[in-house]
Amino acid sequence: MKFKVVVREDREDPGWYNVSCPSLPGCHSQGRTVEEALMNIKEAIELYLEPEEDVGISGKGVQLVEVEV
């Protein structure tokens, strides 16, 4: 799968790069170099896409519901 990501140099913390994946809300990462930021966002995307059962979503009042669109 391919995703477009946005890489920005951090204005408040020079020497750091922020990276986000607009098609996956809340999927962000950072790195000291562009290359490191890209490696980190790849890992963040993989974790974002893991099945809910693998990431421990559970608890009282929590439901996993499938909907078809």
pLDDT in tens, 51-68: 665 556 555 666 666 778
Q: How far is Cα of residue 34 from the mean position of the Cα atoms in its chain?
A: 16
Residue 11's pLDDT band, with cuts at 50, 70 and 90, is very high
Is the distance from CB of 21 to CB of 5 less than 8 angstroms?
Answer: yes
- Alpha helices, DSSP H, located in the chain: 34-49
> Which pLDDT score is estimated for 1?
87
Euclidean distance between CA atoms 50 and 54, whole angstroms: 6
pLDDT digits (tens, 9 = 90+) for 19-53: 999 999 999 999 999 999 999 999 999 988 886 65
